[in-house]
A and B are shown apart, each in its own frame.
Chain A
Amino acid sequence: MFGDYSIGDLGSIFVMQGFAGLILFSVYVLMALGLAIIFGQMGVINMAHGEFMILGAYVTWLTSSAFQHYLPSLFSGYFFIAMALAFVASGSLGMLVEWALIRHLYKRPLDTLLATWGLSLMLQQAYRSIFGAREVGVELPQWMLGSLRVTESIEVPINGIFVMCLTVLITVCVAWIMYKSRWGRQVRAVVQNRVMAGAVGINTEKVDRYTFALGCGIAGVAGSAFTMIGSTGPTSGQLYIVDTFLVVVFGGAASLLGTIASAFSISQTQSTLEFFMSGSMAKVLTLLAVVGILMLRPQGLFALKVRK
């Protein structure tokens, strides 16, 4: 297996695959952050998470088209506005969904899975009716194209680096919101003991609504970032949903650090294996390893100790 490559080649391969793994890692983290809040903190199984992401991607696509047509001079900066719009769009939809659907189902977590699956079917059809069945791609601004040449045999794409920086930024923001802000403390209080949190004066309904909206908003930002590295179609969200749930469960629900650690290990395993065998077999082996470890350690890598 290693015989055909020299030591230097192997080193480059590992660096390149490692970097591809890092981009995959960013993708997983972005998707899983929102879900870690919704599933890990609230216990709601949101099967429509992928569709919230796609909404963000479509918003980004619309914004970039609008900039191309009306403000071509500012095109290089469209992305930051698009990201904010994506957050607002997905977050508002999330708030609406929480009000109409989720709040009736907090006592029946398995039913949230079924209801949000119905929601995801409707959203997919809505995207297909509005934007068409074909995949759309965003035109990248000039500064994001091309790649950096690190050494003779190693080069890394700029848009990948940009997505990675974005991931770090968003993760830090989320960590700050959840662990440092007053509102994050309220969220964690509601998660740990809803009745007690209500008794000390926290408006648990409002906290639930904004938590769900925040999770969906982050999904929208993730979708926005996705347009940098791939194209978007009505059913793209479906491709990622199982992976995302596995990342969250594997890391230990409700643990932000666990989510990041599990996203890292899964993406690195996947991309390293991918070089030596077909992509599908690499995926099968990675998923099997994750399921196997989950069977040995059902609470995930980093379990939050909560008295129940």
Chain B
Amino acid sequence: MTDNPRFANRSELLGILLLAVLLVVVLPLGLDVFRLNLVAKYLTYAFVALGLVICWGYGGILSLGQGVFFGLGGYCMAMFLKLEASSPENTKIQSTPGIPDFMDWNQITQLPLFWQPFHSLTFTVAAVILVPAFFAFIIGAAMFKRRVGGTYFAIITQAVAAILTILIVGQQGYTGGINGMTDLRTLKGWDIRPDHAKIVLYFFEVACLFGCIFIAQSIRHSKLGRILVAMREKEDRVRFSGYSVANFKIFAFCIAAIFSAIGGAMFALNVGFMSPSFVGIVPSIEMVIYTAVGGRLSILGAIYGTLLVNFAKTSLSESFPELWLFGLGGLFIAVVLAFPNGLAGIWGDYIQPQLNRLIPSRKSASGAAAGWNGNSVADGAPAE
């Protein structure tokens, strides 16, 4: 990489433009509202995948607990929506009107203290960003300052995911337990359930996604992004050059957590409920799968990976539920063994060079960039 543009080079811009056309024009025109809402659901995971590209692909930190942050963001948003859906008029039949229905079922008669601030939308939006960032900071600081990384970090984040799930399921009265928070209705008085609302929310989500892509691209092309890659390749050399490795890792982990949390909040808005089944170990690992299939080094690849795996999951598991798990497991083994850089790696390593050979005139223009997905040879495969 001889050039270092601030946001994206030409071929990357083309890739982002293609994604924009796909998400803003092709899918909304080609799909009915039900399918479009499914795409919106898949895209919430794309936020997580995007964060994983930053922290796993570039920073070399594999987190198996991204579901925790997805859940924190999602629950913050769901608490706000639930409070709005539990106005005294809506809940008159309860023994204590004005509190969420699951609290009433669990004999809790007063709104708990930590629920109170979620009456305010401003607070909720701030909490969606800050609560996960705070947790990520604590976990990251405790681990990276003591130079714990790699497999140990992965296992501990997994344990955190287990803890949060057990806690949510166990504290039924405060969290809705295993059923989660259902029956979310309005956002500031605006009904989120009818079709036109779903379409508006979809476009809002796509806008947020492109905002996150912009941030991720800026990080990637900044000096910070280069330090992250350097750290992944030879951590000690970066440390001996005088950089604080721990702080950079904490930063990458926090960014990934915030992206996941935004995805979670979008999930609560678009899908209309939030439950612990999106928090635990299995969903967390599935999110890593999306990133790996798309390409852990490619920002756009991770988004395509998320969409493709989820489409495959929905269509296959509807018709062949047995085949699906075999397919997913096999796909995963194949990706790890044969294509460590995922779909984006296939494109960058095999298809792109072929294209360049077929069109010799473009060779000089895109040769330096080596792929719209940014998976240049210079990035290389991660050491682990």
A contacts, CB < 8 Å to B: 39, 43, 45, 47, 101, 104-105, 107-111, 113-115, 117-122, 124-126, 128-129, 238, 242, 245-246, 249, 278, 280-281, 283-284, 287-288, 290-291, 294-295, 298
Given A242-B158, A249-B152, A295-B143, the answer on whether A284 and B332 have CB atoms closer than 8 Å is no
CB–CB B151/A280 < 8 A: no
The interface residues of chain B, by DSSP majority, are classed as helix
CB–CB B156/A291 < 8 A: yes
CB–CB B322/A118 < 8 A: no
Given A113-B154, A118-B336, A291-B159, the answer on whether A298 and B384 have CB atoms closer than 8 Å is no
CB–CB B162/A287 < 8 A: yes
Interface residues of B in 279-294 (CB under 8 A from A): 281-282, 285, 288-289, 292
- Give the docked Cα–Cα distance between A298 and B155 (Å): 12
- Residues of chain B with a CB closer than 8 A to A294's CB: 152, 156
Within 8 Å by CB of A129, from B152, B322, B333, lies B322
Given A245-B155, A246-B159, A280-B166, the answer on whether A125 and B329 have CB atoms closer than 8 Å is yes
Nearest 10 CB-CB pairs, A to B? Answer: A280-B170, A118-B332, A121-B329, A122-B329, A125-B325, A118-B329, A298-B148, A295-B142, A118-B333, A115-B336
The count of residues in chain B whose C-beta lies closer than 8 Å to any C-beta of chain A is 43
CB<8 Å pairs between A and B, sample of 22: A43-B151, A45-B151, A101-B337, A108-B340, A114-B288, A114-B292, A114-B335, A118-B330, A120-B329, A122-B329, A122-B330, A124-B325, A125-B326, A242-B158, A245-B159, A249-B152, A281-B170, A287-B166, A291-B163, A294-B152, A294-B156, A298-B147
Shortest CB-to-CB span from B269 to chain A, Å, is 29
B contacts, CB < 8 Å to A: 62, 64, 142-143, 146-148, 150-152, 154-156, 158-160, 162-163, 166-167, 169-170, 281-282, 285, 288-289, 292, 322, 325-326, 328-333, 335-337, 340, 383-384
Given A118-B331, A125-B325, the answer on whether A110 and B155 have CB atoms closer than 8 Å is no
CB–CB B160/A122 < 8 A: no
CB–CB B167/A121 < 8 A: no
- Residues of chain B with a CB closer than 8 A to A290's CB: 159
- Give the docked Cα–Cα distance between A114 and B212 (Å): 26
Shortest CB-to-CB span from A117 to chain B, Å, is 6
> Which residue of A is nearest B142, CB measured?
A295
CB–CB A121/B325 < 8 A: yes
- Residues of chain B with a CB closer than 8 A to A287's CB: 159, 162-163, 166
